[in-house]
Amino acid sequence: MTSKLEQLKQFTTVVADTGDIDAIARLKPVDATTNPSLLLKAAALPRYAELLKQAVSASNGDVDLASDRFGVSVGREILQVIPGRISTEVDARLSFDTQATLGRARRLVELYEGAGVTRERILIKIASTWEGIRAAEQLEKAGVQTNLTLLFSFAQARACADAGAFLISPFVGRIYDWYKKAEGRDYIGAEDPGVQSVARIYDYYKAHGHKTVVMGASFRNVGQIEQLAGCDRLTISPDLLQQLAEDSGTLERKLSTEISGQSEARIGESQFRWEMNEDAMATEKLAEGIRQFARDQEKLEKLLAANT
């Protein structure tokens, strides 16, 4: 009987949330995505030792550049085993600086193109701060497509769509974590706040004709994935992908496309910041996510510096 993974692939594009090439080759997702935490894990794998050394030697002691080179090298390796795109993240420490984000994003694109990878096969990941969204808007106009990540609120989702972002990554699991701790209870199935957040965004995008792709991310269990079957894309860890591959039960489509094209005014900066301020979960998880990625970026840079 067909596995749940194969059933899911019939109505959702499956993306691997990992830098592990062996897992990607085994599970055969369309796309893949990385972040500083995943690159730090990849840097510890023997198969990436040579790429790490090459990134350092080509960067003349510039650890920021070496980090970007390593991320691009890992991305290029992954692209050899998937048919679609790789998402590569801009340094999280630049999340509140539009111009610095633009500069780093352009460098990533240049490094990919220098390695023979066209921009049609990459997405530049940027944190969904107001400044990050503004950078994404400029990149999209310049023909560089983006993945707006660390997305926890409806205000962020609206702003990303207004900016014409190619794709957003709402973090299901981290929303679930916050409410589970805050409310002192567990959530199952459709009552899961993370699932509800993504479903609301998906329905809103389709109702208003937004072309921005919704890619649910950060899953804690297969139940969350099953509740979002039918979402444009889902980025899933190898462990959960394997669980889906080993389960031959029936998987039903939960989300469906109904485009009406209703128009709505853009969300302005003051409204965006106020709505974020009123959403404690989104404010806390966005700040926490940026800090976590920043710390892992620093650990990666220390590892690179140790190889100079």
Q: Which residues are catalytically annotated?
A: 125
One-letter amino acid at 37 equals S
Report the half-sphere exposure of 49 (CA within 13 A, side-chain side). Answer: 3
Q: Rounded distance, CA 69 to CA 71, Å?
A: 5
CA distances (Å), 11 to each of 7, 38, 226, 241, in order? 8, 27, 12, 16
Among 255, 253, 254, 251, CA closest to 6: 251
Residue that has been written with the tokens 């701060």 in this structure: 129
Q: What is the 3-state secondary structure (H, E, C) of 136-184?
A: HHHHHHCCCCEEEEEECCHHHHHHHHHCCCCEEEEEHHHHHHHHHHHHC
CA angle 279/281/284 to nearest 5° reads 105
Among 9, 15, 11, 18, CA closest to 30: 15
- Answer yes or no: are the C-beta atoms of 122 and 167 closer than 8 Å: no
